[in-house]
Structure 1
Amino acid sequence: MNAMLKLGVSAAVLISLSAAAIGQEIVLRSSDTHPDGYPTVEAVKYMGELLMERSDGRISIEVYHSAQLGEEADTIEQTRFGVIDMNRVSLGPFNNLVPETKVPSLPYIFRSVEHMRTVMDGEIGDEILEAFEPHGLIGLAYYDAGARSFYNSRVPVASVEDMAGLKFRVMQSDLFVDMVNALGADAVPMPYGEVYSAIQTGVIDGAENNPPSYESSAHAEVARYYTMDEHLIVPEVLVIAKSTWDGLSAEDQELIRQAAKDSVAHQRELWDAAEAEAMEVVRAAGSEIIEVEKQPFIDAMGPVYERYVDTPELQDLVARIQAVQ
């Protein structure tokens, strides 16, 4: 950690401790790469409203959307060191840091969005949240990110064979790189904010994401072929810096944890509506939505599971998730 970052960490911890000690107002700075109005952004705002009400105006959240505090990889580090208090991030960028997050990030691990919600709302989801603490973070809750599918600017992808040679942006995660490569395409890790121009200039052919992100990012303008392979149903996680958390009273910790949990239903309601609307918008704008037979895509994932489900603990976690009805 450089000197300036150390100074920022020390100041953040001291402010949190002082506020908790004398009962002053607590303002939590929360980061999100998505734009204002996006379901995850609005859910954290809603959580802030709950906290204001339940703490008699003493605890609030300032949401910095649209990557104002940096891209996800950068904000994860800032949150671990307490420079940022809270962060909404996909589980993908945590795969190399928190091994347990690799399993819900696996392609086709969930049969449906409903299956994912059941798993992550239960005991398995709680176990994964607890795995964040040794890494300087406290897991609070999971938000939906829908099902991610591939889109590109060159050809309608209707089969695994059509993936050959295409260059797709992926999140900065080894697992997602290997997933794309297993399908015969080329994976290009890059920050989310660079994707539009990279497709437009031909640096990459496309990317993969859920319908609301595909629409709100304007990627549909430059990549009109959207293939509904739904390879990933990866939850997003809301975390708080452990240094911030440790500076709070037990009562305030419980208020924050409960408000986070209570914001989940609100986020899912917004998400479902946004997904339906996004599909209507991109269809009307000329995107071609391509349905595919998923089994060949699933069959190609064997090497990915062999590499990443590499311990008895992770193998047990996969089996337990698949057993959830």
Structure 2
Amino acid sequence: MTSFPLSRRALLTGAAGLGAAALAGCDRTAAMLGEGGVLRAADTHPDGYPTVEAVRSIAARLKEQTDGRLNVRLYTGGQLGEEKDTLELAIFGGLDFNRVNLAPLNSIAPETLVPALPFLFRDESHMRAAMDGTPGHTILEALRPHGLIGLCFYDSGARSFYTSSREITKPADLKGLKIRVQNSDLYVAMIEALGGDATPMAYGEVYQGLMQGVVDGAENNWPSYESSRHFEAAGTYSLTRHVMAPEVLLVSGRSWAKLSEDDRTLIRQSAKESVPLMRTLWDQRTNDAKTRLAEAGVTVIEPDFRAFSEKVQPVWDKFLATPHLRKLAEDMVAISG
């Protein structure tokens, strides 16, 4: 499976649903499924990224198991826009597979907020056990009423702060700093609770924002910090590990409705089998990123995360506003891993 150029404008027009002709085009795309048509998949990460390679493994298995009847064409590196754009495409049926972060889903399904709660998971093993188990299944099912079929979760590592102006060793160090966050109310609330100035910004704009001083820092995992070259502008990495929210692989509900039950089963099984591969690649990429960043002279700080976790209780109280969400969080905390 390879990446192909495609008119983002053409697809976004269909996804927006601003006319009968556009929606009809989306429906025609979905109708091709199982009839020799091509399934479209999008990922904002570049070629070679663990999530991209995981979806490629799904494509290979689908092609093999259906003798070429199901083929997947993958658009990587944000060819179809930011994740909010590809999410619209998937909901309206102009895109079949979509790998996205949980943040763009927060306003669609509140359950997706829970894994992004700061300091929810003890470590990576705990996160993986929770997302593979009943709590993760609950979140995937919560997407179905919104035109999205959740297949599986992929790792996104532990997010930590990186800055250009000062080391972050305690929450007070964030005071007065403009910190880039995803366009998520939860992330904004978290930064504000820690004393920083939350600045929502598209991922593709962060490098320039750091270089120009529009923001003083950002927060992300090791591989993204390295591959984006954000370390060139913000060379201090403080290992707060404040969020370990995973990413999710989705199928458009409109596309799903066109598939046979056998094809659905095959897709689910292929997605499940892609998770161990993704995690192996992720662990390798994380270690490689750490090595390259050390060679680049990045300063790594090991703050006491407990001082940060004590500050974010108001975030939990605000976003666990219903018994259902609080129970989901409690179930995740209780998972052994």
> Equivalences for 1:26-37 in 2 at 5 Å?
26-37=37-48
Cα drift, residue 248 of structure 1? 0.8
CA distance in 2, matches of 1:70, 1:277: 27
Partner of 2:5: none
Choose which of 172, 177, 184 in structure 2 pairs with 1:173: 184
The residue number in structure 2 matching 1:312 is 323
Aligned match for 1:206, one of 198, 214, 217: 217
Deviations 1:48-102 (A, max 9, x none): 1111111111112111111000001111111111111111111122111111011
> Corresponding residue for 1:44?
55
- CA drift of 1:247 comes to 0.8
Q: 1:296 aligns with which of 294, 297, 307?
A: 307
How many pairs does the alignment contain?
Answer: 322
For the pair 1:109 / 2:123, whether they are aligned, the reply is no
TM-superposed deviation, 1:12: 2.8
Q: Does 1:273 align with 2:287?
A: no
> What is residue 91 of structure 2 aligned with on the other side?
80
Deviations 1:137-158 (A, max 9, x none): 1001100011000101111111
Match of 1:64 in 2: 75
- SS of residue paired to 2:115: coil
| Partners of 1:243 and 1:86 in 2: CA distance | 11
Unaligned runs of 5+ in 2: 1-14
TM-score, normalising length: structure 2: 0.93
1:136 positional shift: 0.9
Extract structure 1 runs of 4+ deviating beyond 6 A.
none
Computed over aligned residues only, the root mean square deviation of the Cα atoms, in angstroms, reads 1.3
- What is the TM-score of this pair, normalised by structure 1? 0.96
Say which SS state the counterpart of residue 56 (structure 1) adopts. Answer: coil
Unaligned runs of 5+ in 1: none
Deviation at 1:224, TM superposition (A): 0.3
Match of 2:36 among 25, 30, 39: 25
In structure 1, C-alpha distance between the alignment counterparts of 2:16 and 2:185, rounded to whole Å: 27
Contact 1:12 1:244 in 2 (8 A): no
Which amino acid is the alignment partner of residue 28 of structure 2? L
Aligned-pair distance for 1:3?
6.0
Question: What are the Cα deviations for residues 226-257 of structure 1, in whole angstroms up to 9, with x where unaligned?
Answer: 00000000010000110011011111111111
Measure how far apart 1:28 and its partner are. 1.3
Tell me, in whole angstroms, the C-alpha distance in 2 between the residues paired with 1:122 and 1:259. Answer: 18
Asked if the contact 1:27/1:60 (under 8 Å) is kept, the reply is yes
The letter for the 1-side match of 2:40 is R
What's the % identity of the aligned pairs? Answer: 47
Which residue of 1 is the match for residue 132 of structure 2?
121
Counterparts of 1:87 and 1:240, CA distance in 2: 6
In the alignment, structure 1 residue 13 sits paired with structure 2 residue 24: no
Instruction: Name the counterpart of 1:219.
Output: 230
> Residues 216-255 of structure 1: matches in 2 within 5 Å?
216-255=227-266
